[in-house]
Amino acid sequence: MDHVGNEIANSYWEFKKPTKRIAFNALPEERVRFVNDKYIRKMYSNPKSQNPVLTFIQRREMGILE
């Protein structure tokens, strides 16, 4: 994340923020479901942007790290 940055990552992963955020006292099953929805199913991501992890990997392979 140091090379991608929280702002860039959030602009991708939370592009379509869920209307109801997970509660701090949510059950473990709810947390797993939220994480899967966000990172595996990419339910809130920006479909027009590239995954910031892929951007990082490409830059690393080219020797470009900011």
pTM score of the predicted model: 0.72
* pLDDT digit string, tens, across residues 21-47: 889 999 999 999 999 999 999 999 999
**Contact at 8 Å (CB) between 3 and 55?**
no
* pLDDT digit string, tens, across residues 7-17: 888 889 999 98
Q: What pLDDT sits at residue 29?
A: 97
- Bigger pLDDT: 44 or 5? 44
